[in-house]
Amino acid sequence: MPSGSFFNRKENTMKLLFLGTGAAGSCNIAECDLPADRRRCASLLVDGTALVDVSRQSFDYLTKLGGDPSAVTDIFLSHSHGDHFCRDAFYQYVEAAKHKIRFWCHRGALEHLKLTEAELEKIDLHPVEACDTWETAGMKVTALPANHVVGELTSPEKPLHYIFEKDGKRFYYGCDGGWYTAIEWEYMLRNKITFDAVLMDSTVGEDAGNFRIGTHNNYAMQKILILALRQNGMITDETLLVATHVAKSCHSNERPLEEVFGEMGMTLAFDGREIEL
């Protein structure tokens, strides 16, 4: 178990447990024990009950950390890429849960997920659209349109970012997606949203001309985004800026990533890290 006890959440805090902080590179590894230099696929546990993205290794890794996967009541899907949704892991949570798990995903993701009737009976399905806001798991949740694409360019699935709010704390989950979409940015601007934490797609690294520019961030983009977030009141000196969804193959190993992201005012997520807001 990481430092502190995850399930003894203090009042008026949100506790985030990173179960996977990598990109697609570990999709084919079923075991939760990875070499020290590898990151598990994207999964984040909020206050022990809400899982954001359900990666292949997350259930076994949470169990290994001493957590209780059966306490998960809600799963939020950003999009159906294989490093964010693993069918087997999804059903590990569904089978372990004490009640039907509430599953929140973009309406168009259902075409890719292809859940069977029998599978649908086991979950409490909630398809959502970008800019929807709702309450669940003790949180207010807002889905925003991400700059990302799944499958064909005509796919009905529109990847989502999320804003989670609870007990006066608010954080942004922005994986996957490069930059912001116009609607996402305007939503945050017009609603004068300030975050306690921003979890930012940090896939690409120093390759400023990388072809992923439309769907993932590189360092140059992140520096601009942080500047714009600060200048428009969305982050303050107290906001925790977290680099996550780090693709091992895209970052050079010349300098420790903690140092590189530290210079941007960011802290680097790693598998098993806990953050309390």
What's the closest the beta carbon of residue 244 comes to Zn ion, in angstroms? 10
Helix (H) or strand (E) holding 262: helix 257-263
What's the closest the beta carbon of residue 43 comes to Zn ion, in angstroms? 11
Return the number of the residue (83 or 196) whose C-beta is nearest Zn ion: 83
Distance in angstroms (rounded) separating the CA atoms of residues 29 and 252: 23
Return the number of the residue (110 or 193) whose C-beta is nearest Zn ion: 110
- Phi first, then psi: give them for residue 55, nearest 5 degrees: -90, 165
What's the closest the beta carbon of residue 144 comes to Zn ion, in angstroms? 15
Cis status of the peptide bond prior to 201, with omega within 30 of 0: no
Contacts of 193 by beta carbon, 8 Å cutoff, 6+ apart: 163, 170, 187, 234
DSSP per-residue letters across 37-67:
T--PPSEEEETTTEEESB-TTHHHHHHHTT-
Footprint on this chain of Zn ion (rule: CB under 5 A):
81, 83, 176
Whether the CA torsion 150, 101, 135, 141 is positive or negative: it is negative
The residue among 138, 126, 133, 68 whose CA lies nearest residue 96 is 68
Return the number of the residue (47 or 157) whose C-beta is nearest Zn ion: 157
Whether the CA torsion 45, 51, 52, 57 is positive or negative: it is positive
Return the number of the residue (81 or 158) whose C-beta is nearest Zn ion: 81
Return the number of the residue (73 or 215) whose C-beta is nearest Zn ion: 215
Return the number of the residue (83 or 184) whose C-beta is nearest Zn ion: 83
Return the number of the residue (15 or 81) whose C-beta is nearest Zn ion: 81
Question: By the 8 A CB rule, do 176 and 150 touch?
Answer: no
What's the closest the beta carbon of residue 79 comes to Zn ion, in angstroms? 6
Alpha helical stretches, state H, 100-218: 110-113, 117-121, 182-190
What's the closest the beta carbon of residue 138 comes to Zn ion, in angstroms? 27
Distance in angstroms (rounded) separating the CA atoms of residues 181 and 79: 15
What's the closest the beta carbon of residue 1 comes to Zn ion, in angstroms? 26
What's the closest the beta carbon of residue 192 comes to Zn ion, in angstroms? 29
